[in-house]
Amino acid sequence: MNPYRKQYRWSNVFAMIRNLKLAPKICADDFSHRLVVITGATSGIGNATAEKFAAQGADLLLINRDEKKTEQLCAQLRQQFRTNCDYIIADFSKQSDVRDAAGQLAALPRDIDVLIHNAGVYLTQKTLTQDGLEMVFQVNYLSTFILNYVLLEKFKAQNRGRILFVNSEAYRFAVWGLDFDDLLWQKRRYSGLKSYGESKLAQLLSMLVLQQAYQGSAVTVNAMHPGNVRTNSGQSNGWLYKIFKRLLVDPSALPVSVAAEALYYLGASAEVQGLSGKFFNLTTLEEPAPPALDRDAAQTLWQISLQLGGFDAK
Ligand SMILES: NC(=O)c1ccc[n+]([C@@H]2O[C@H](COP(=O)([O-])OP(=O)(O)OC[C@H]3O[C@@H](n4cnc5c(N)ncnc54)[C@H](OP(=O)(O)O)[C@@H]3O)[C@@H](O)[C@H]2O)c1
């Protein structure tokens, strides 16, 4: 029996459907020389968001896995927008890379104004990482956990900054919540939609704990659905998925600039100053579905993530 069945409301689903049709609010404010860290900026939403922040004057620090693409991107951003662009190379399917990247961020001599957790994958086949974990869980969730955990003290010390998760309404595929007996898909038959949904739900649950950790400080942490936008997502899947995406998903997809505008608004606008622990459908505040509000599950996940990430349990 679904543990959340009594908490589900149709009104919550209808609100989400209404919100999906709304355009993002636009922020025209300047963001000169503020430091914005973006993961997965070599393609799609991350790429468009990097361009948007650069166009508004931000200094960029990109965390990507492909050095060649990253060098080209930084060169292009410097030339086009006269912006400062630096980078760290990290593959989010390798914990050692993510820890190194987190350490470098923690040691930065300046404040991070905005940290955007964007890198993500959708896989139709179960894939294991070099660390032996299920790929989608590790790339989409565990890596963001490690970055956030290592950066807790830095953000507390700077007492300001916005942390944003590029999440997805697909967290709703995890209708029953997280399966704590099999977070890593070792026992269950793999489902691409469910594993993606669970990774995004895990992000939302970790947001609850992070928000509490930052209570009393001016650091905020929020999540957003970037819309259904046209990107390279799912390109490593088989031909059947690619045909499905090209014929059925992409025609109704929005340009990626929609997601970038929303992320700029959430990162830069004074209108969201002080809001934390919230879910935005693009820029519209939305009440999450019940599994994403489960504080007990959030604590359980936090403890498991500490173990999986090789940190001492607290
Ligand atoms: N597109 C949508 O409609 C949509 C809807 C809801 C949520 N989202 C979310 O939006 C985010 C961005 O996705 P997108 O649609 O823009 O897809 P995308 O075009 O495929 O971009 C994904 C980015 O993540 C990076 N990445 C993937 N695996 C990585 C790894 N192991 N280590 C480091 N970086 C890695 C990619 O790097 P490479 O260039 O090296 O591959 C790329 O920069 C994801 O979190 C996704 O779940 C997208």
Smallest Cα–Cα separation from 183: which of 134, 226, 146, 218? 134
CB 50 within 8 Å of CB 80: no
Q: Is 80 left (phi over 0), alpha (psi -120 to 50) or beta?
A: alpha
Quote the tokens at residue 127. 């894939």
Distance, in Å, from the CA atom of 95 to the CA atom of 89, rounded to the nearest integer, reads 13
Ligand 1 mean position, distance from CA 233 (Å)? 6
Q: What values do phi and psi take at 94, rounded to 5?
A: -125, 115
User: If pLDDT is split at 50, 70 and 90, which confidence band does 312 have?
Assistant: confident
The pLDDT of residue 274 is: 96
Task: Quote the pLDDT of residue 161.
Answer: 98
Q: Return the SS3 of 122.
A: coil
Dump pLDDT digits (tens) for 245-256: 888 888 889 999
Tell me the average pLDDT of the chain.
96
Residue reference for tokens 């190194």? 100
Instruction: With a cut of 80, say whether residue 314 has pLDDT above it.
Output: no
* Residue ranges of domains in the chain: 30-42+60-76+85-119, 120-138+176-280+292-309
Tell me, yes or no, if 8 is annotated catalytic: no
Instruction: With cut-offs at 50, 70 and 90, classify the pLDDT of residue 96.
Output: very high
Rounded to whole angstroms, how far apart are CA atoms 171 and 206?
A: 13
Among 118, 172, 244, 263, residue to substitute to test ligand 1 (most atoms within 8 Å of Cβ): 118
Fold of 120-138+176-280+292-309: Rossmann fold (3.40.50)
Separation of 1 CA from ligand 1 center, angstroms? Answer: 34
Please identify which of the residues 196, 214, 241, 264 carries the catalytic annotation.
196
Rounded distance from Cα 93 to ligand 1 centre (Å): 13
Share of the chain above pLDDT 90, in %: 91
Are 309 and 95 spatial neighbours (Cβ–Cβ below 8 Å)? yes
Listed residue (208, 220, 78, 205) closest to 137, CA to CA: 205
Q: How many whole angstroms separate alpha carbon 60 and alpha carbon 48?
A: 13
Cα of 9 from ligand 1 centre, angstroms:
31
Task: Dump pLDDT digits (tens) for 215-257.
Answer: 999 999 999 999 999 998 888 888 888 888 888 888 889 999 9
Using CB atoms within 10 Å of the CB of residue 132, give its burial: 0 to 12 exposed, 13 to 18 middle, 19+ buried. exposed
Q: Give residues (CB < 6 A) around ligand 1.
A: 40, 42-46, 64-66, 91-93, 118-121, 139, 166, 168, 225-226, 228-229, 231-233
User: Hey, whose CA ends up nearest to atom 24 of ligand 1?
Assistant: 119
